[in-house]
């Protein structure tokens, strides 16, 4: 039985309206069927024996298109640089908190958990205020010090030769010395550094207290005047970075001070309403900075970043200019 012209016309219009696919199967006995599959219809209809027969429940609709998306990490050069700085600042803060926690554990191990009788712990409470460290970090590490198997932390310095004649001093506070030295050696070997004998690089640095101030937050002349009034030793200007613009730069001035004059410097900065960042107790300042080429600078940067990924490593100092 064949379809009448009227039905064929109706079927053509229905196909065009529904944007579907018109299928005309081959003969099967005396039965010819017209099947319509539509993007919008969820049933199959056949014309057979002079009437349309529908079979509901069969969904031949095309699956809706799915668009995959991912979080935009950076949009443009400036945003990428800002995101990179934010990550570096967060990592620096995490290292500071971790080191301070270790110092708390060591102080409690040596003198007990009461700041009244433990002068070292009392000093750490004052230091926490200076460094703006949350009190819960102190409480958590006091509790941690009493846990079974927790050993006191020991401070170690490992010295490494970098690229281009630059040297590095790696500051470690660890409860497992063998673990820490093995980890440092492994990174140095894998990324092209060379372990140095004790004292081979350390003599190129001096220990001092340091305050960091964002370059965009202060006038240079005013900062120098404050440094002179407080008895500070030096003002280190931010290194020029040709990739930074004034708009997004977050370079820092560093005021170098002795241990004795450091409190006077902080008081002076607070009185002037200048926002600053303190050090973690001290920093190692190179006596004579070493100038290296761009390739060596990039390799040293990678090497230092790998050292900082180690849990026992708290800070890295280099004489690279």
E strand segments, 196-251: 205-214, 234-236
Look up the pTM and report it.
0.63
Which residues have CB under 8 Å from 232's CB, separation 6+? 255, 256, 257, 261, 265
Cβ 3 vs Cβ 49: under 8 Å = no
Residue closest to 297 by CA, chosen among 313, 319, 282: 319
Q: Which of 95-99, 104-108, 175-179 has the lowest mean pLDDT?
A: 95-99
d(CA 159, CA 154): 16
C-alpha radius of gyration, the chain, whole number: 35
Task: Work out the number of other CB atoms within 10 angstroms of the CB of residue 159.
Answer: 20
According to the model, what pLDDT value does residue 37 have?
41
Question: If pLDDT is split at 50, 70 and 90, which confidence band does 97 have?
Answer: confident
d(CA 232, CA 269): 12
Question: For residue range 233-248, what is the model confidence (pLDDT) as tens digits?
Answer: 999 888 655 444 444 4
Chain position carrying tokens 């024996």: 49
Question: For residue range 110-161, what is the model confidence (pLDDT) as tens digits?
Answer: 888 888 888 888 888 888 887 788 888 889 999 988 888 788 888 999 999 9
d(CA 161, CA 195): 6
What is the DSSP-derived secondary structure letter of residue 218? S
Q: What is the mean pLDDT of residues 211-231?
A: 89
d(CA 205, CA 285): 5
Higher pLDDT, 87 or 39: 87
Q: In what order do the strands lie in the sheet with 313-318?
A: 194-195, 154-161, 167-174, 313-318
Longest dimension (CA), the chain: 109
According to the model, what pLDDT value does residue 216 have?
84
Question: Chain-wide mean pLDDT for the chain?
Answer: 76
Residue 36: exposure state from Cβ atoms within 10 A (0-12, 13-18, ≥19):
buried
d(CA 197, CA 200): 6
Higher pLDDT, 310 or 59: 310
Residue closest to 311 by CA, chosen among 101, 169, 87, 110: 101
Report CA-CA distances (Å) from 128 to 67, 136, 156, 244: 49, 11, 22, 33
**Percentage of residues in the chain having pLDDT higher than 70:** 69
Q: Which of 44-53, 83-92, 248-257, 294-303 has the lowest mean pLDDT?
A: 44-53
d(CA 281, CA 233): 17
Encoded tokens for 193: 């550094």
According to the model, what pLDDT value does residue 198 have?
93
According to the model, what pLDDT value does residue 20 have?
43
d(CA 107, CA 124): 9
């Amino acid at each position: 039985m064949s379809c009448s012209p009227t039905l064929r016309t109706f079927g053509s219009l229905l196909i065009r309206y529904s944007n579907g696919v018109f299928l005309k199967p081959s003969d099967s006995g005396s039965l010819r069927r017209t099947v319509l599959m539509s993007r919008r219809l969820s049933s199959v209809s056949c014309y057979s024996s002079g009437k349309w027969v529908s079979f509901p429940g069969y969904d031949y609709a095309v699956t809706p298109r799915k668009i995959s998306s991912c979080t935009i990490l950076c949009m443009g050069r400036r945003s990428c640089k800002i995101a990179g700085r934010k990550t570096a600042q967060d990592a620096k803060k995490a290292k500071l908190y971790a080191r301070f926690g270790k110092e708390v554990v060591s102080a409690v191990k040596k003198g007990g958990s009461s700041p009244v009788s433990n002068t070292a712990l009392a000093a750490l409470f004052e230091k926490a205020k200076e460094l703006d460290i949350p009190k819960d970090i102190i409480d958590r590490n006091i509790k941690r010090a009493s846990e079974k198997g927790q050993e006191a932390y020991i401070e170690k310095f490992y010295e490494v030769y970098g690229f281009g004649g630059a040297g590095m001093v790696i500051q470690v506070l660890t409860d497992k010395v063998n673990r820490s030295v093995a980890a440092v050696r492994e990174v140095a070997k894998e990324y092209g550094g060379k372990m140095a004998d004790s004292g081979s690089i350390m003599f190129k640095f001096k220990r001092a207290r340091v305050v960091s101030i964002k370059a965009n937050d202060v006038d240079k002349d005013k900062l120098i005047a404050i440094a002179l009034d407080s008895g500070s030793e030096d003002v280190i200007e931010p290194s020029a970075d040709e990739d930074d613009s004034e708009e997004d730069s977050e370079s820092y001035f560093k005021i170098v001070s002795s241990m004795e004059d450091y409190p006077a410097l902080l008081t002076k900065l607070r009185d002037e309403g200048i926002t600053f960042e303190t050090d973690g107790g001290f920093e190692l300042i190179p006596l004579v900075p070493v100038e290296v080429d761009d390739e060596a600078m990039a390799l040293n940067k990678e090497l230092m970043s790998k050292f900082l990924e180690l849990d026992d490593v708290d800070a890295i100092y280099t004489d690279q200019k």
